[in-house]
Protein backbone atom coordinates (compact mmCIF):
# COMPACT_ATOMS: atom_id res chain seq x y z
CA UNK A 1 0.00 0.00 0.00
CA UNK A 2 1.20 3.49 -0.80
CA UNK A 3 1.66 5.61 2.33
CA UNK A 4 0.68 9.11 1.23
CA UNK A 5 1.61 10.55 4.64
CA UNK A 6 5.25 10.08 3.57
CA UNK A 7 4.69 12.18 0.41
CA UNK A 8 5.84 9.54 -2.08
CA UNK A 9 7.62 10.59 -5.25
CA UNK A 10 5.84 9.41 -8.43
CA UNK A 11 7.29 9.10 -11.90
CA UNK A 12 4.61 10.71 -14.06
CA UNK A 13 3.72 8.67 -17.13
CA UNK A 14 4.85 10.06 -20.46
CA UNK A 15 4.24 8.17 -23.70
CA UNK A 16 7.47 7.19 -25.38
CA UNK A 17 9.61 7.99 -22.34
CA UNK A 18 8.50 6.18 -19.17
CA UNK A 19 9.44 2.75 -20.46
CA UNK A 20 10.92 -0.07 -18.38
CA UNK A 21 14.60 1.01 -18.60
CA UNK A 22 13.84 4.58 -17.47
CA UNK A 23 11.55 3.38 -14.68
CA UNK A 24 14.28 1.02 -13.43
CA UNK A 25 16.79 3.86 -13.28
CA UNK A 26 14.51 6.32 -11.48
CA UNK A 27 13.69 3.66 -8.87
CA UNK A 28 17.41 3.36 -8.12
CA UNK A 29 17.54 7.12 -7.56
CA UNK A 30 14.67 7.23 -5.08
CA UNK A 31 11.42 7.30 -7.01
CA UNK A 32 8.76 5.63 -4.86
CA UNK A 33 6.07 4.81 -7.43
CA UNK A 34 6.55 4.17 -11.13
CA UNK A 35 3.84 4.45 -13.76
CA UNK A 36 3.93 2.89 -17.22
CA UNK A 37 3.72 4.96 -20.33
CA UNK A 38 0.18 5.38 -21.66
CA UNK A 39 -1.25 2.13 -23.02
CA UNK A 40 -4.27 2.15 -25.30
CA UNK A 41 -7.19 0.12 -23.97
CA UNK A 42 -8.11 -0.67 -27.58
CA UNK A 43 -4.60 -1.99 -28.26
CA UNK A 44 -4.80 -4.26 -25.22
CA UNK A 45 -8.22 -5.60 -26.21
CA UNK A 46 -7.89 -5.95 -29.98
CA UNK A 47 -4.21 -6.32 -30.66
CA UNK A 48 -2.70 -7.81 -27.53
CA UNK A 49 0.49 -7.78 -29.57
CA UNK A 50 3.83 -8.58 -28.03
CA UNK A 51 4.68 -4.87 -28.22
CA UNK A 52 1.57 -3.85 -26.27
CA UNK A 53 1.95 -6.61 -23.69
CA UNK A 54 5.65 -5.72 -23.35
CA UNK A 55 4.54 -2.29 -22.12
CA UNK A 56 2.91 -3.96 -19.09
CA UNK A 57 6.18 -5.52 -17.91
CA UNK A 58 8.05 -4.13 -14.94
CA UNK A 59 11.48 -4.62 -13.44
CA UNK A 60 11.86 -6.44 -10.12
CA UNK A 61 12.66 -3.18 -8.29
CA UNK A 62 9.38 -1.53 -9.33
CA UNK A 63 7.22 -1.76 -6.25
CA UNK A 64 4.67 -0.30 -6.36
CA UNK A 65 4.04 -0.16 -10.10
CA UNK A 66 0.99 1.42 -11.77
CA UNK A 67 -0.21 0.94 -15.35
CA UNK A 68 -1.77 3.87 -17.19
CA UNK A 69 -4.51 3.16 -19.71
CA UNK A 70 -6.26 5.46 -22.16
CA UNK A 71 -9.46 5.07 -24.09
CA UNK A 72 -13.01 6.24 -24.55
CA UNK A 73 -15.01 3.06 -25.12
CA UNK A 74 -16.34 1.92 -21.75
CA UNK A 75 -16.52 -1.77 -22.67
CA UNK A 76 -12.97 -1.82 -24.05
CA UNK A 77 -11.66 -0.05 -20.97
CA UNK A 78 -13.38 -2.66 -18.78
CA UNK A 79 -11.86 -5.45 -20.87
CA UNK A 80 -8.43 -3.81 -20.66
CA UNK A 81 -8.73 -3.66 -16.86
CA UNK A 82 -9.64 -7.35 -16.84
CA UNK A 83 -6.58 -8.17 -18.96
CA UNK A 84 -4.39 -6.20 -16.55
CA UNK A 85 -5.93 -8.17 -13.65
CA UNK A 86 -4.12 -11.23 -15.01
CA UNK A 87 -0.70 -9.66 -14.46
CA UNK A 88 0.95 -9.98 -11.06
CA UNK A 89 3.02 -7.15 -9.65
CA UNK A 90 0.79 -4.34 -10.87
CA UNK A 91 -0.35 -2.26 -7.90
CA UNK A 92 -2.90 -0.07 -9.61
CA UNK A 93 -4.43 1.48 -12.68
CA UNK A 94 -4.25 5.09 -13.80
CA UNK A 95 -6.76 6.48 -16.30
CA UNK A 96 -5.30 9.07 -18.66
CA UNK A 97 -7.49 12.18 -18.86
CA UNK A 98 -4.61 14.52 -19.55
CA UNK A 99 -3.18 13.72 -22.96
CA UNK A 100 -3.80 16.64 -25.36
CA UNK A 101 -2.30 14.96 -28.45
CA UNK A 102 -4.76 15.40 -31.34
CA UNK A 103 -4.57 11.71 -32.34
CA UNK A 104 -5.75 10.72 -28.83
CA UNK A 105 -8.30 13.53 -28.44
CA UNK A 106 -9.94 12.72 -31.81
CA UNK A 107 -10.74 9.27 -30.42
CA UNK A 108 -12.46 10.87 -27.42
CA UNK A 109 -9.69 9.71 -25.08
CA UNK A 110 -7.13 11.55 -22.94
CA UNK A 111 -8.09 15.14 -22.17
CA UNK A 112 -11.20 14.83 -24.39
CA UNK A 113 -12.84 12.97 -21.50
CA UNK A 114 -12.85 16.26 -19.57
CA UNK A 115 -15.51 17.47 -22.00
CA UNK A 116 -17.92 14.70 -20.95
CA UNK A 117 -17.84 14.30 -17.19
CA UNK A 118 -20.81 11.90 -17.17
CA UNK A 119 -18.93 9.56 -19.48
CA UNK A 120 -15.79 9.96 -17.38
CA UNK A 121 -17.74 9.02 -14.27
CA UNK A 122 -19.13 5.95 -16.05
CA UNK A 123 -15.64 4.91 -17.16
CA UNK A 124 -14.27 5.24 -13.63
CA UNK A 125 -17.21 3.25 -12.25
CA UNK A 126 -16.67 0.58 -14.90
CA UNK A 127 -12.99 0.22 -14.02
CA UNK A 128 -13.80 0.04 -10.31
CA UNK A 129 -16.38 -2.68 -10.99
CA UNK A 130 -13.84 -5.06 -12.57
CA UNK A 131 -10.36 -4.10 -11.40
CA UNK A 132 -8.73 -6.26 -8.75
CA UNK A 133 -5.81 -3.89 -8.32
CA UNK A 134 -5.19 -1.93 -5.12
CA UNK A 135 -5.67 1.55 -6.54
CA UNK A 136 -7.30 3.56 -9.28
CA UNK A 137 -6.05 7.05 -10.07
CA UNK A 138 -6.81 9.58 -12.80
CA UNK A 139 -4.25 11.79 -14.51
CA UNK A 140 -5.94 14.98 -15.63
CA UNK A 141 -5.22 18.58 -16.55
CA UNK A 142 -6.87 21.75 -15.32
CA UNK A 143 -9.08 22.04 -18.38
CA UNK A 144 -9.50 21.01 -21.97
CA UNK A 145 -8.64 24.34 -23.60
CA UNK A 146 -5.48 26.39 -23.10
CA UNK A 147 -7.48 29.17 -21.48
CA UNK A 148 -9.72 26.79 -19.48
CA UNK A 149 -12.75 28.19 -21.25
CA UNK A 150 -16.05 26.47 -20.75
Which positions are catalytic? 99
What is the rounded CA–CA span in Å between residue 28 and residue 4? Answer: 20
Closest C-alpha to 79, from 100, 62, 93? 93
Strands annotated E in the chain: 34-35, 39-40, 65-70, 92-97, 135-140
What is the rounded CA–CA span in Å between residue 135 and residue 88? Answer: 14
Q: What is the DSSP letter of 33?
A: B
Q: Are the C-beta atoms of 56 and 84 separated by less than 8 Å? A: yes
Q: How many other C-beta atoms are found inside a 10 Å radius of the C-beta of residue 90?
A: 22
Amino acid sequence: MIDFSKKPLFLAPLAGFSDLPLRSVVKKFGCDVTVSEMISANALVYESSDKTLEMLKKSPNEEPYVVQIAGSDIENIKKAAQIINKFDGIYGLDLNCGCPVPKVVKQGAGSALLNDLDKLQNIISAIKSVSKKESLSVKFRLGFNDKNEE
